[in-house]
Chain A
Amino acid sequence: MPAKLILSMDGVVIKEYALNKERITIGRKPHNDIAIDNLAVSSEHAAVITILNDSFFEDLNSTNGSLVNGTPTLKHFLQNNDVIEIGKYKLKYLNDQPTQTSAADFEKTMVLRAPVKSSAPSAAATGAQSAKYEATTQFNATSPRAETRPHVPQAAPAAAAPAAPIAVIQILNGPNLGKELELIKNLTTLGKPGVQVAVLARRPHGYFITHVEGGSFPLVNGSTIGEQPHQLNDHDVIELAGIKMEFYLKA
């Protein structure tokens, strides 16, 4: 489904525009795709360029400027629910594409043929794709390099949230006695490189310790774990290169 812009003023929806063209213009003059007859709007105010599933907003050096999500913007990579403001008018960008958290986003890799191939068999579909692709490069060539840094939309999608509570390693002997180490990263290594190293991996279903290098294997509660990953339980005692430490989960 193509993305769309919803034009509204004072919270009242005026019209919906599907972004089914590569370039949609917004302005006061009637030849614009989105014509807004208001003196605060320049005759050719802005454009939205759509490349397959991505859309970019561009202010065309309008007199009164444009806001995206409240910030004056010349160029912006639109994300779902972004709001463009031109004068008193608002344009909300909706892109119902599956988000990154959905499996459909990881559809199989497809080939986008470059238009240069002379020998390319010309199925109609291929032709259409090539045309789009060509347009992309044109857009690249003509678009001014972002004059303003496009402000970064919402934070990048969070990585798989840790299912488990925060785990901690506390040193039980030696010069670092009492020191604590929170296992906040996916992987944490323990030990001395070249002597004995083990890695603690944080996984959705728990924490695992695995031998990395060294002549002997780590001990958990006094017994060797061998070469295989070993799942840690609350209050397990790990021994590595003579250092004892306790693994526990913070409430």
Chain B
Amino acid sequence: MNVNEALEIVGQTNPGMVRSHNEDSITFDADYGLAVLADGMGGYNAGEVASGIAVSVLSSEIRHHLDGARPEQKVAGSQEEVGVALLRDNVRKANLSIYNAAQSQPQYAGMGTTIVAGLFYDNRVAVVHVGDSRLYRLRGETFETVTRDHSLLQEQIDSGVLSKELARLSQNKNLVTRAVGIDADVEPEVHVYDVEVGDIYLFCSDGLNDMVEDEDIGATLQMLQGNLALAVNQLIEQANDNGGRDNVSVILVKVRASYPAPSGWWTKLTSWFRN
């Protein structure tokens, strides 16, 4: 089955209750199995500019490349898959675009963005992220984070200084240790995960997980998995009902069927028939 028939994707972004600007940007395209979410930072409208650049570089470049290649193919002369390389290389490309814009235009100085993006292909999902925008997964009864924030808090949790519970009490929120566009280069984190039919993936900005406990996010998804559009609405509504202090963005991807890569002989056969 094609990836666009196998996946159901819905998403929404909302400025929240306090901020006048929405510095988040999102895009998704079921035809390419792609979802991208970025949370910009910087004065005036620089945050929007940074997240906007990141999202448009990733989505346009990746779609352009996939028109001539399959994501599960190996990059020439390497063991790496095209899908993985596309995610990593284009986050770097976005990084450079934002960095250069910030260097050349004083009003954009210091702007940057977090990013999380997923590319679904061959019954898997390749995930890239930088900063504290997250990917979660609901599989059966289990709701868990897939990405690990690049943040001071996460580092403290990892090293055992803070437990997850105590981290909620920390005053050091919103300190990311990596962001796109701040330095001339960035190190994106990329992983590939197997996907199961029935999985629901949730991409979000910290405006969701800072305002709504993981447990409540998971329960909402579990209850409303029959209606993804409503689930997105309810999640944003909960963030806003709890104060909505930040922009909040959510993309949900539900895996309705398996989507193996077209096998070699089949591709050859169909192309032979076409000719």
A interface residues with partner B (beta carbon < 8 Å): 51-54, 56, 77, 79, 95, 97, 100, 103, 105-114, 117, 119-121, 133, 136-137, 139-141, 143, 145-146, 150, 152-153, 156-157, 159-160, 185-187, 189, 193-194, 197, 199, 201, 203-204, 210-213
B216 within 8 A of A: yes
Q: Name the residue of chain B whose CB is nearest to the CB of A205.
A: B241
Indicate if the CB atoms of B234 and A110 lie closer than 8 Å. no
Indicate if the CB atoms of A106 and B234 lie closer than 8 Å. no
In the assembled complex, the Cα of A211 lies from the Cα of B219 at a distance in Å of 17
B175 within 8 A of A: yes
List 18 A-B residue pairs with CB atoms under 8 Å apart, sorted by A's residue number: A52-B152, A53-B171, A54-B172, A103-B243, A109-B41, A110-B174, A117-B183, A120-B183, A136-B156, A137-B155, A137-B159, A140-B160, A143-B161, A152-B166, A186-B220, A201-B237, A211-B230, A213-B227
Indicate if the CB atoms of A185 and B219 lie closer than 8 Å. yes
Residues of B within 8 A of A210 (CB): 230, 234
Residues of B within 8 A of A143 (CB): 161
B interface residues with partner A (beta carbon < 8 Å): 18, 39, 41, 47, 112, 114, 131-132, 152, 155-156, 159-163, 165-166, 168-179, 182-185, 206, 210, 213, 216, 219-220, 223-224, 226-227, 230, 234, 237-238, 241-243, 245-246
Contact flag A111-B112 (CB < 8 Å), given A120-B183, A197-B226: yes
In the assembled complex, the Cα of A152 lies from the Cα of B162 at a distance in Å of 11
Indicate if the CB atoms of B242 and A159 lie closer than 8 Å. yes
Q: Out of A56, A108, A156, A187, which one reaches B234, CB within 8 Å? A: A187
In the assembled complex, the Cα of A143 lies from the Cα of B220 at a distance in Å of 39
Indicate if the CB atoms of A213 and B226 lie closer than 8 Å. yes
Indicate if the CB atoms of B165 and A152 lie closer than 8 Å. yes
In the assembled complex, the Cα of A106 lies from the Cα of B173 at a distance in Å of 8
Indicate if the CB atoms of B245 and A119 lie closer than 8 Å. no
Q: Name the residue of chain B whose CB is nearest to the CB of A149.
A: B163
Indicate if the CB atoms of A103 and B245 lie closer than 8 Å. yes
Known contacts A103-B243, A213-B227; can you find 12 more A-B pairs with CB under 8 A?
A52-B171, A54-B171, A77-B162, A108-B174, A110-B174, A121-B183, A139-B161, A140-B156, A156-B168, A186-B216, A201-B237, A211-B230
In the assembled complex, the Cα of A126 lies from the Cα of B234 at a distance in Å of 40
- Nearest-neighbour CB distance to chain B for A44, whole angstroms, equals 21
Indicate if the CB atoms of A52 and B220 lie closer than 8 Å. no
Indicate if the CB atoms of A160 and B243 lie closer than 8 Å. yes
Indicate if the CB atoms of B112 and A203 lie closer than 8 Å. no
Indicate if the CB atoms of B161 and A140 lie closer than 8 Å. yes
Indicate if the CB atoms of B169 and A109 lie closer than 8 Å. no
Q: Name the residue of chain B whose CB is nearest to the CB of A117.
A: B183
Residues of A within 8 A of B182 (CB): 111, 113
- Nearest-neighbour CB distance to chain B for A80, whole angstroms, equals 9
3 A-B pairs with least C-beta separation:
A53-B171, A213-B226, A140-B159
- Nearest-neighbour CB distance to chain B for A50, whole angstroms, equals 11
Residues of A within 8 A of B178 (CB): 111, 114
Indicate if the CB atoms of A79 and B242 lie closer than 8 Å. no
Q: Out of A79, A136, A187, which one reaches B219, CB within 8 Å? A: A187
In the assembled complex, the Cα of A53 lies from the Cα of B152 at a distance in Å of 12
Indicate if the CB atoms of A187 and B223 lie closer than 8 Å. yes
Residues of A within 8 A of B161 (CB): 56, 139-140, 143
In the assembled complex, the Cα of A119 lies from the Cα of B99 at a distance in Å of 13
Q: Name the residue of chain A whose CB is nearest to the CB of B245.
A: A106
Residues of B within 8 A of A213 (CB): 226-227
Indicate if the CB atoms of B234 and A199 lie closer than 8 Å. yes
Indicate if the CB atoms of B169 and A77 lie closer than 8 Å. yes
- Nearest-neighbour CB distance to chain A for B172, whole angstroms, equals 5
In the assembled complex, the Cα of A72 lies from the Cα of B77 at a distance in Å of 61
Indicate if the CB atoms of B152 and A112 lie closer than 8 Å. yes
Indicate if the CB atoms of B155 and A140 lie closer than 8 Å. yes
Q: Out of B166, B168, B172, which one reaches A51, CB within 8 Å? A: B172
Residues of B within 8 A of A160 (CB): 241-243
Residues of B within 8 A of A211 (CB): 227, 230
In the assembled complex, the Cα of A33 lies from the Cα of B223 at a distance in Å of 55
- Nearest-neighbour CB distance to chain B for A208, whole angstroms, equals 9
Q: Name the residue of chain B whose CB is nearest to the CB of A160.
A: B242
Q: Out of B155, B160, B175, B237, which one reaches A110, CB within 8 Å? A: B175
Residues of B within 8 A of A106 (CB): 18, 173-174, 210, 245-246
